[in-house]
Structure 1
Amino acid sequence: MIFCSLLLAASACASTIQMDDGRTMIGDIGQTSGVAEDPTRPSPSAGEVKVTPILIIDDGLRRTFVNKFRVRNILDVDREKPIVISVWQDHAEHGAMVGAVGRQLRVTPFDDYGRRIYEMQAAGGSISVVQGITEVTPTYTRVRGLNVEPRSYVWDQRLATSSIPRETLSRILQNAVPENNPDARLQIVRLYLQAERYTDARRELESVLEDFPQLEDLRDELHQLRQLGAKAILDEIELRQQSGQHKLVRLLLENFPAGDVDGKTLERVREMLVALDEQDARIALVHRLLDELVAAITEPAVQRVAGEIQAEIKQELNAASLDRMTAFINLADGDALDSDRKAALAISGWLLGSNQASDNLASALSLFDVRAKVLAYLRAPLAGEREKLLIDIRDSEAGDVRRVAQLLKLVKPPLPLPEEQERSPGVFELGTAIGPGLGNVRYLVQLPPEYDPLQRYPTVISLNGAGFRPEMQLDYWAGGQGTDGVRRGQAMRHGYITIAVDWLQPHQYSYGFTADEHQKVLAAYRDALRRLSIDTDRVYLSGHDIGSVAAWDIALAHPDLWAGVIPVLAAADEYIKFYTENALFLSWYFVCGELDGDKIEQNAYEFDRYLKPKVDTTIVELLGRGHEPFTDEIQRLFDWMGRKTRRPSPEEFEVHSMRPWDNYFWWVEFDELPAKSMVSPSSWPPRRGTRPARLIGRKYPNNKLGVRGQAGKTTVWLSPDLVDFDKPIEVEVNGRRVTDRDNPIEPELRVLLEDARTRGERQRPYWAKLEYP
């Protein structure tokens, strides 16, 4: 065991929970039948059957609620007892009890002795509580109200120890333990080690050995800490590589701290550097082969196009796009093919991907022309201009639906990122029209390091709360700006695009569940799809305060758009309570505070429904916390998002709608929904007995689709993910067959391009549609 001479602490029994999505959590486990249930409630009385399908994992910082059927395994393991370092404070045992924590107004940094002032909103004004750190553990730091004049507050709050800046924590711990007591000083080393803060543990141990030379036998432990620290650096490098930050990866590998690092780790570093060198060599090979190829082409028109492609490849070829040239690399370095066929492989591979590469030069040249026209179509504002382009594409050799669909997957975003809109490194302030006559919506974008439009990026769309600016959502997800204007938070580490939508009206303090609010968020998203390289299978909708209510509601209204939903400080209300069936198709991560008023009780009914086995839900309640952003949870949120992708169209779905604009679900669009089920937000609450419209879609065997729902008009959208266009397609609406065997449904270039243009979806556009009646 590492640190066998240093860590002689007792073991403690704890449970490690392995979730079905691969996450692991450690803590004490309890069971409950509802999130608002008192866990100290005695056993049920005679005749009462108590069902406890919900697990609670308590790690001292938070309670995490999950459905027990989504747990893969529970292991009771002996692990080292967590180090607890006590910090003396004159904490209040008597005084005003903090039973609810209002909106956070001001929080001062901790001083060297672990004290700060927490100012919060309260009835009639604000209150300020003097707090002090009383315990530090690897997972959480306990903060309590102190005895002060004129008024003391009894308040027990928990913070993630990882959320306290390293320098601040170090000073607090050094002041908390006797400087001349080596055992107490070693407790700090142990705490850092258990928290997996290996660099901090090494620095502290070096300081201990300098002050206490008699502990020289612990010097071997420094070596082990260096190994752990080197492994942590390598893990970070691999994370950055997965995020597409190849320049940073090379820089980190070339400057890897090799001193006193074991051979296995250094071998992995060498392997990664060799792989990068091989990758660079393949890129250089592509450029050399293209130089030779263009020089060998004799036909002027072909040479001109090949030269244009060569210039584009020379500028844009990198690690993200190198796979496109695999067929060209494998077949072009030799005499087996003539220059025309090699040129065809280069052009078609670059445009369609290596698996679709062809050695037909005429077809490849047509592809190059078609791509230019497709991009022009996606940008064209006028219908007449688009119609002319459509005709030109149709008349081209490569203008069939299948190849155009593949082109769409690999093209760069059709609209540019205006350089004049860049406000700081990687931060753009953008805007777009919401709809005819509805004005514009502003939104902010933070790009990850080394952003490359040829690579698809996971994306967080975040909605601010009342009284807060959208810029604060960028700070939350991507980190605050440093003195150089650069953010270095978790979205930057993991390679996520962050979008903050300026969705609130001036002086708006509640969410209205309106079409205008929905359209602002969706319009910003669609415009971002046209300008940014977003992986539409990995888009996560989030929000704080009333922004979280908006995120919750918009996600339920459009469950086909999101990979996951993260409401922070949300409150279930209005349509949310009628749309629970829609939640089945999404992954949810709710974050709330134990002392945020009565939020848990207010949400309890919905939370309990979401914690059924069919819904992928995690609910986190931070202990002693109120109405605040909860930056403590950010690392666990990225771990969760990294495991969630947008689900494919379900084999069968039933969703509910009570608003006319909640009418597009996966491959079915319903118009003119029944008036008896529609309730305007201005007319809320609905009359007694009002039921949402039930809208059903189902995929049957043998290329058959069925739709049920009362609507004046139904549009069925079709794609290869849904049906096989090479076979007869049958569609039923409300039990009536609406397809004609004599007129089979065929892919339509117009449908494909219009869908890609209007929705901005280039990864999974629809190829055909059927309208009924």
Structure 2
Amino acid sequence: MKGGNPRLTEIAVNLHQSIWLGVAAGLLIAYGSHAATIQLEDGRTLVGKIGETSGVAEDPTKPSAPAGGVKVTPILIVDDGLRRTFVPKAFVRDIIDQEAERQIKIRVWQNDAEHGMGLGRVGRMVRVTPFDQFGRRIYEMQGPGGVISVVQGITEITPVYTRVRGLSAEPTSYVWDQRIATSSIPRETLSMILQQTAEQGDLEARLQVVRLYLQGERYVDARRELEQVLIDFPEAEDLAADARQLRQLGARSILKEIELRRDAGQYPLVRQLLETFPSDAVAGETLQQVREMLKALQERDALQKEVLDRLRQVVEGIAEPKVRAIGESVEKEIAAELNDISLPRMVAFLNLSDGDALSNEQKCALAISGWLLGANQATDNLPTALSLFHVREKVLAYLREPTPAVRDRLLVDIRDMEGASVARVAELLKLMAPPLPLPEEAQQAPGQFELFTPIGVGQGDVRYLVQLPPYYDPLRSYPTIVTLNGLGYLPEQQLDFWSGPLPKNEPDNDRGRMGQAMRHGYITIAVDWQKPHQFQYDFSAREHASVLAALRDAMRRVAIDTDRVFLTGHDMGGDAAWDIGLAHPDLWAGVIPFLARPEKFALWYGKNAEYVPWYFVQGELDGGKVAAGAREYDRYLRGRDDMTVVELLGRGHEPFSDEIQRLFDWMGRKKRRPPPEQFEVVSMRPWDSFYWWLEVQDLPEKSMVHPDNWPPERGVRAAPLRGRKYAGNKLGAVAPAGRVTVWLSPDIVDFDKPVEVEINRRRATSRAAGAEPDLAVLLEDARTRGDRKRPFWAKVEWP
């Protein structure tokens, strides 16, 4: 550096090391060893101060041990300053860094209240004003006597959290230490506060802001701040190299976003971002990755054109008019729907249709069968391919038909068609677009629909909202969030939370939502599950039926990946998610209750919890809910592996959007588990009656407890339901029920071998016939449950 100023040299070296450590290892320069980085079994990483505990309600500063005994601490706590995260110790895969960096902390002076009214509990959030340029706001909450207003001010900013404290105010000061995610503060607001805080004439103070942005992976903000520093401090010209390196980090973050959008199937946006990728002063390696991604998309475009050109020539070369007409119909469909997602279906046609080895009729058969069944099931037998085309039309008609008698006639027609085996129809179902349409009149905004479906006989309809992600394609399967609103909130606000709010002041809201579900390519379903003037979750059959009916109807209308459906809710919606998750663990890839309290059946259904991943989110000051749920949390954390409890520090009853990015990281690693080799669950309600492949009816009255008759009488025990897969293609079920149905699919048994089913220790299948696939079972199951990815092929009923 010109001038040889030792102090400036030290500052430049520190910043340079910070940036290059970020490039080389994903870590920034460490100013102390106060935290660690651990990796969990599902691949997530947690960073923070680490401790061990025997229970989530235990005071970590005052651990207790049993008299004369050795304390057992099976639960790990990770405190990152914003939240405490509890996970099972057994779920930790590795300690990546035992001496993780110390975060940058920028202090903000405020007249914070040292004396005044303490807040042992924070009520329901009513209104929060935006932070002003000095980092102050007003937080309004519901109190015992009405709305309480607290004047707050930011006192500390770190890359992970921002500390907000109650300020001295008239007539009442509130002593309150709260943490919010720094990432939740709008960029313009944060920049304005930092400008007020950092002494603009102090180079070190200005570079602290750069480091803060850098540690928070806000590379564009870090670069802009550093470039302004270079203008304000010309003597620090050696930092120009660091500004260039920050540009590289910013380019890499853009590339990471492009990869995220590509994985979400948003190919038009990916193309647009790649074609407009900033190339100025970007490293050649990054630009090479961009070129390779563009090349891959261009090659796909060329393949799509080649498929359509060949198919057109093949169809034109077919002599038989009736066959040519069907070929033209398929050609038209493929031309309209062929894209990056459906192109793999045409691989067999592409590989075998070049040259004269096959006739035009055989090539057309490859195209039709590959399009309908997938490349691996493609055949060059034209009669079979044409039959499959007609079978699909009949199957679609069956799935749409409300009248049983008409469905029976369609079933007869399908059975008489060539190639209409159960296995082939199952493959057709997997690759079909959803059978029911999304009515045009139901659309409220870009990708948002309002729909209604019957709950059950005499129970009316349930309303639900669907938000589709950008560039939705009905031939692609999308992960899905089913979300339940809390007291005083609307389903529309649940869409706002997960998918982002609709833009305001834009004509017709053409741009649509832009939240995290949209970025990651998730469908969001918000169920209007509450009755008018309902003030608590009732644990009722109607509530369960409302949620399940909405999900099943949505599966008939939109392309849901049934192996990646997540159930969540806030407040009493969180109570509902907890209970419904326990009652139907076979449906969910994960359950995410916010602000929930375990009551009634949740206290009895602990066995059911081990079969599905859980992620609980609570506020430290939300009326003692962590302590209220501690017994269940501890049971889950001690007895299973995939369980996370998050307690946000100093926070009360609010939505907790701070946690949403970590939740998408968690959901991105989860899929619905396959049917377990062995399971044991419990039921205390007649409608909690279906678990994986076991369905029961007429459970013993002594075990059934209606929610209105809670608590159970003394001596009541939940009904145990057990299922097991044995060697030799055998299933066994034990249930104290009047009727038991065992449902069968290739995920559970091998239909090419004799299937044996034993119910309550009695053989339920004949030794000779076993259980055979049945087209009627397959189609009716796909129609009623809506799960076309994993339908059942057969069933065995007892008695």
Report how far residue 742 of structure 1 moved: 2.9
| Runs of 5+ unmatched residues, structure 1 | none
> What is the alpha-carbon distance in structure 1 between the residues aligned to residue 18 and residue 299 of structure 2?
44
Report how far residue 12 of structure 1 moved: 2.6
2:544 aligns with 518
> What is the alpha-carbon distance in structure 1 between the residues aligned to residue 37 and residue 770 of structure 2?
55
Amino acid at match of 2:740: T
Report how far residue 457 of structure 1 moved: 0.1
Residue aligned with 1:691, SS: coil
1:118 aligns with 139
> What is the alpha-carbon distance in structure 1 between the residues aligned to residue 18 and residue 86 of structure 2?
36
Amino acid at match of 2:247: R
C-alpha offsets along residues 314-367 of structure 1, whole Å, 9 cap, x if unaligned?
000000000000000011121111101000000000000000000000000000
Please identify, of 478-487 and 423-432, the stretch whose mean Cα deviation from structure 2 is larger: 478-487
Amino acid at match of 1:525: L
Please identify, of 428-437 and 179-188, the stretch whose mean Cα deviation from structure 2 is larger: 179-188
2:467 aligned residue (446, 450, 455): 446
Structure 1 residues 36-75: aligned runs within 5 Å: 36-42=57-63, 44=65, 47-75=68-96
Residue aligned with 1:722, SS: coil
2:747 aligned residue (713, 721, 729): 721
- How many residue pairs match? The answer is 773
Moved over 6 A (4+): 6-9
> What is the alpha-carbon distance in structure 2 between the residues aligned to residue 42 and residue 339 of structure 1?
78
Q: Is the 8 A contact 1:366 1:397 kept in 2?
A: yes
> What is the alpha-carbon distance in structure 1 between the residues aligned to residue 113 and residue 396 of structure 2?
67
> What is the alpha-carbon distance in structure 1 between the residues aligned to residue 603 and residue 535 of structure 2?
21
Residue aligned with 2:758, SS: strand
Q: Is the 8 A contact 1:326 1:354 kept in 2?
A: yes
Amino acid at match of 2:731: L
Q: Is the 8 A contact 1:593 1:624 kept in 2?
A: yes
Report how far residue 615 of structure 1 moved: 4.3
C-alpha offsets along residues 434-455 of structure 1, whole Å, 9 cap, x if unaligned?
1111100000011000000000
In the alignment, is residue 32 of structure 1 matched against residue 32 of structure 2? no
Report how far residue 42 of structure 1 moved: 5.0
2:535 aligns with 509
2:616 aligns with 590
1:470 aligned residue (468, 472, 491): 491
2:500 aligned residue (479, 482, 494): 479
- The 1:2–1:564 alpha-carbon spacing in structure 2 relative to 1, beyond 3 Å, is farther
TM-score by length of 1: 0.99
C-alpha offsets along residues 485-538 of structure 1, whole Å, 9 cap, x if unaligned?
311110000000000000011111100000000000000000000001000000
Residue aligned with 1:202, SS: helix
2:768 aligns with 742
1:148 aligns with 169
1:581 aligned residue (603, 607, 620): 607
1:4 aligns with 16
> What is the alpha-carbon distance in structure 1 between the residues aligned to residue 101 and residue 400 of structure 2?
60
C-alpha offsets along residues 279-338 of structure 1, whole Å, 9 cap, x if unaligned?
000000001001101110110011000000000000000000000000000111211111
Structure 1 residues 635-674: aligned runs within 5 Å: 635-674=661-700
1:265 aligns with 286
- The 1:227–1:2 alpha-carbon spacing in structure 2 relative to 1, beyond 3 Å, is farther
> What is the alpha-carbon distance in structure 2 between the residues aligned to residue 361 and residue 9 of structure 1?
68
Residue aligned with 2:685, SS: coil
Amino acid at match of 2:401: A
> What is the alpha-carbon distance in structure 2 between the residues aligned to residue 6 and residue 462 of structure 1?
41
Instruction: Give the superposed CA RMSD.
Output: 1.2
Q: Is the 8 A contact 1:470 1:501 kept in 2?
A: yes
2:330 aligns with 309
Please identify, of 757-766 and 67-76, the stretch whose mean Cα deviation from structure 2 is larger: 67-76
Report how far residue 74 of structure 1 moved: 1.9
1:564 aligns with 590
Report how far residue 709 of structure 1 moved: 0.9
Q: Is the 8 A contact 2:37 2:100 kept in 1?
A: no
Structure 1 residues 260-659: aligned runs within 5 Å: 260-483=281-504, 484=506, 485=509, 486-659=512-685
Amino acid at match of 1:4: H
Residue aligned with 2:16, SS: coil
Residue aligned with 2:629, SS: helix
> What is the alpha-carbon distance in structure 2 between the residues aligned to residue 400 and residue 78 of structure 1?
61
C-alpha offsets along residues 224-267 of structure 1, whole Å, 9 cap, x if unaligned?
00000000000000000000000000000000000100010000
Please identify, of 606-615 and 535-544, the stretch whose mean Cα deviation from structure 2 is larger: 606-615
Q: Is the 8 A contact 2:167 2:174 kept in 1?
A: yes
> What is the alpha-carbon distance in structure 1 between the residues aligned to residue 722 and residue 14 of structure 2?
57
2:725 aligned residue (684, 699, 708): 699
1:164 aligns with 185
> What is the alpha-carbon distance in structure 1 between the residues aligned to residue 328 and residue 30 of structure 2?
69
Q: Is the 8 A contact 1:6 1:218 kept in 2?
A: no
Report how far residue 6 of structure 1 moved: 6.7
- The 1:139–1:396 alpha-carbon spacing in structure 2 relative to 1, beyond 3 Å, is same
Structure 1 residues 124-143: aligned runs within 5 Å: 124-143=145-164
Residue aligned with 1:12, SS: coil
> What is the alpha-carbon distance in structure 1 between the residues aligned to residue 414 and residue 750 of structure 2?
24
Q: Is the 8 A contact 1:568 1:591 kept in 2?
A: yes
> What is the alpha-carbon distance in structure 1 between the residues aligned to residue 342 and residue 717 of structure 2?
51
Q: Is the 8 A contact 1:13 1:77 kept in 2?
A: no
Amino acid at match of 1:670: V
> What is the alpha-carbon distance in structure 1 between the residues aligned to residue 355 and residue 564 of structure 2?
41
> What is the alpha-carbon distance in structure 1 between the residues aligned to residue 294 and residue 443 of structure 2?
34
Amino acid at match of 2:409: K
> What is the alpha-carbon distance in structure 2 between the residues aligned to residue 10 and residue 589 of structure 1?
32
In the alignment, is residue 730 of structure 1 matched against residue 730 of structure 2? no
Q: Is the 8 A contact 1:585 1:615 kept in 2?
A: no
Amino acid at match of 2:16: C
TM-score by length of 2: 0.96
Residue aligned with 2:607, SS: helix
Report how far residue 43 of structure 1 moved: 5.8
In the alignment, is residue 676 of structure 1 matched against residue 697 of structure 2? no
2:197 aligned residue (157, 160, 176): 176
Q: Is the 8 A contact 2:452 2:462 kept in 1?
A: yes
Report how far residue 52 of structure 1 moved: 0.3
> What is the alpha-carbon distance in structure 2 between the residues aligned to residue 464 and residue 328 of structure 1?
48
Residue aligned with 1:297, SS: coil
- The 1:6–1:333 alpha-carbon spacing in structure 2 relative to 1, beyond 3 Å, is closer
Amino acid at match of 1:195: G
2:26 aligns with none
Report how far residue 377 of structure 1 moved: 0.1
Q: Is the 8 A contact 1:2 1:224 kept in 2?
A: no
Amino acid at match of 1:496: Y
In the alignment, is residue 221 of structure 1 matched against residue 242 of structure 2? yes
Identity, % of aligned pairs?
Answer: 64
Q: Is the 8 A contact 2:91 2:641 kept in 1?
A: no
Please identify, of 606-615 and 143-152, the stretch whose mean Cα deviation from structure 2 is larger: 606-615
Q: Is the 8 A contact 1:144 1:156 kept in 2?
A: yes
> What is the alpha-carbon distance in structure 2 between the residues aligned to residue 646 and residue 38 of structure 1?
35
> What is the alpha-carbon distance in structure 2 between the residues aligned to residue 355 and residue 621 of structure 1?
48
Residue aligned with 2:312, SS: helix
Q: Is the 8 A contact 1:115 1:132 kept in 2?
A: yes
Residue aligned with 1:611, SS: helix
